[in-house]
Structure 1
Amino acid sequence: MEAIRPVRRTLLRDRAYEAIRDAIVSGEIAPGAVVRDAELAELLGLSRAPVRDAFSRLVDEGLLESKPQSYTRVTPVVAAEVRDAAAVVGAMHELVTRAAVPRLLAEHIGAMRDSNVRFADAVRGGDVDGALRADDALHDVLVRVSGNRAAAATIARYSPLIRRLERRRFGEGGNCRSAGLHDELIDACAHGDVDKAVRVTAEIWRGLEGLADLVVPADLEVPADLADLDT
């Protein structure tokens, strides 16, 4: 039975990482909250080892911070870090857009238009998760068609830092990204206008960098006494 092989341990680690990351980004695990591997392992139905691996990755990506023998907690939303992440992710999206536009087929343009319809509907309906999923789906077309794995990995790494603030602002009544700008991007892609597509992409991401200039609410700051908590 060559096709039957043991499930790789890394799959459990990835499951733990994705679940904890998504809970942090959604705000289910709030900024400043202390997280414990034993508790999350029980909730996820996993052993502590993959959860610890996930913690290590999330610390590296800036969503968790850890003090050995003391605590592991969710990082606060820091304006400068969001701005830096948005600049990096935006540059990667410009790169993949430039590479992808000459390779786009009608089916790719159709998928982008469908995603933007879902995005606009979700924005009007106040569906935060739906809007962000549709937004990701639209831009992921360009990421996939570009074939640039390094850019894709960079986008995946730093997007959660942006999503925390973006999701919160959208949930408070912000309009997230503009469906109109998406239309401009899609039209440029459909006409094979690389330079315009890159310019619109840059405009979209400048708007996200601007989110970081807004005042971060006080409840996103980490209480000072958390530093004394043990895991």
Structure 2
Amino acid sequence: MPVPAPRSLLRDDVYARLRDAIVDGTLLPGERLRDHDLATWLGVSRTPVREALLKLGQAGLVRAAPGRSTTVATLDARVIHDAQAVVAAMHRLAVEQAVPQLQAEDLAAMREANKRFAAALRRGDAEGAIAADDEFHGIPVRTAANTALESVLEQYTPVLRRLERLRFASLGGRGSVRLHDDLVDLCEAGDVEGAAAVSHATWETLKPLLASLADAPEPTT
């Protein structure tokens, strides 16, 4: 007979599916999240859904107030600003730790991912751009093999991906293609400080979009 999935794996899967649904816009900002409806949609019990919603709340992707409903968080400039600062710092650290360990095949994989990233931008394919960007930056993160760093990025990167979908749906991310190329070149040259600085600068390119979000009028209900 089939062996049930361990509870931790089920919880993580539910979290990932709800997180992705928020990031890709399947679940819209302000949408009410009922654990019963979500459990039915995902084909699971309500317990892992509640656990996932709690974790999503800690990441700033959902909002829950005592005695009120849980909803998908709106694009809050302050929350995204805080996440951007943390994610930029973590990627800088990842590159610092990864550069001495990166192999030729790792650098080739980064260049290939950046080609797919550029092609997705030209098509206006936000999902494809995000997937390629994740792959590109994931290589030094995996190479660094710092579990604490990976845990922080797993929590806060999805907050930024919601904002990046707006940018990658246009040609607004073209500057990142050049920065990616520079990053690989510096990694290949073994320039730890230079590569780390460029990695940090890549995530700093979100700041103009953050500024425009902060200046936007509050949504009316």
After TM superposition, give the deviation of residue 107 of structure 1 in Å.
0.8
After TM superposition, give the deviation of residue 169 of structure 1 in Å.
2.8
After TM superposition, give the deviation of residue 211 of structure 1 in Å.
2.1
- What does 1:21-36 align with in structure 2 at a 5 Å threshold? 21-36=19-34
Higher deviation after alignment, 62-71 or 187-196: 62-71
Partner SS, residue 73 of structure 1: strand
Cα distance in 1 between the residues matched to 2:193 and 2:101 = 14
Cα distance in 1 between the residues matched to 2:125 and 2:215 = 22
Structure 2 counterpart of 1:198, which letter?
A
After TM superposition, give the deviation of residue 33 of structure 1 in Å.
0.9
Partner SS, residue 55 of structure 1: helix
In the other structure, the counterpart of 2:41 is 43
1:55 to 26, 31, 53: 53
1:145 to 138, 143, 146: 143
In the other structure, the counterpart of 1:107 is 105
Q: Check the 8 A contact 1:118/1:131 in 2, yes or no.
A: yes
Residues 1:96 and 2:65 are matched in the alignment: no
Q: Check the 8 A contact 1:166/1:176 in 2, yes or no.
A: no
Residues 1:81 and 2:94 are matched in the alignment: no
In the other structure, the counterpart of 1:180 is 178
Kindly provide the CA deviation profile for residues 46-88 of structure 1, in whole angstroms up to 9, marking residues without a partner as x: 1111111111111111111112332000111111211111110
Cα distance in 1 between the residues matched to 2:130 and 2:177 = 12
Partner SS, residue 71 of structure 2: strand
CA shift in 2, pair 1:184/1:172, >3 Å: closer
Cα distance in 2 between the residues matched to 1:215 and 1:44 = 32
Number of equivalenced pairs: 220
After TM superposition, give the deviation of residue 220 of structure 1 in Å.
7.8
Cα distance in 2 between the residues matched to 1:143 and 1:11 = 22
The two structures, once aligned, show a CA RMSD in angstroms of: 1.9
Partner SS, residue 85 of structure 2: helix
Compute the TM-score of the two structures, normalised by the length of structure 2. Answer: 0.92
Structure 2 counterpart of 1:69, which letter?
G
Residues 1:195 and 2:193 are matched in the alignment: yes
Identity %: 44
Partner SS, residue 206 of structure 2: helix
Structure 2 counterpart of 1:101, which letter?
V
Residues 1:206 and 2:196 are matched in the alignment: no
Compute the TM-score of the two structures, normalised by the length of structure 1. Answer: 0.89
CA shift in 2, pair 1:16/1:212, >3 Å: same
Unaligned runs of 5+ in 1: 224-231
CA shift in 2, pair 1:61/1:222, >3 Å: farther
CA shift in 2, pair 1:217/1:166, >3 Å: farther
Q: Check the 8 A contact 1:188/1:196 in 2, yes or no.
A: yes
Cα distance in 2 between the residues matched to 1:221 and 1:50 = 31
In the other structure, the counterpart of 2:7 is 9
Cα distance in 2 between the residues matched to 1:105 and 1:170 = 29
Partner SS, residue 213 of structure 2: coil
Cα distance in 2 between the residues matched to 1:8 and 1:55 = 19
2:152 to 154, 158, 176: 154
Residues 1:165 and 2:179 are matched in the alignment: no
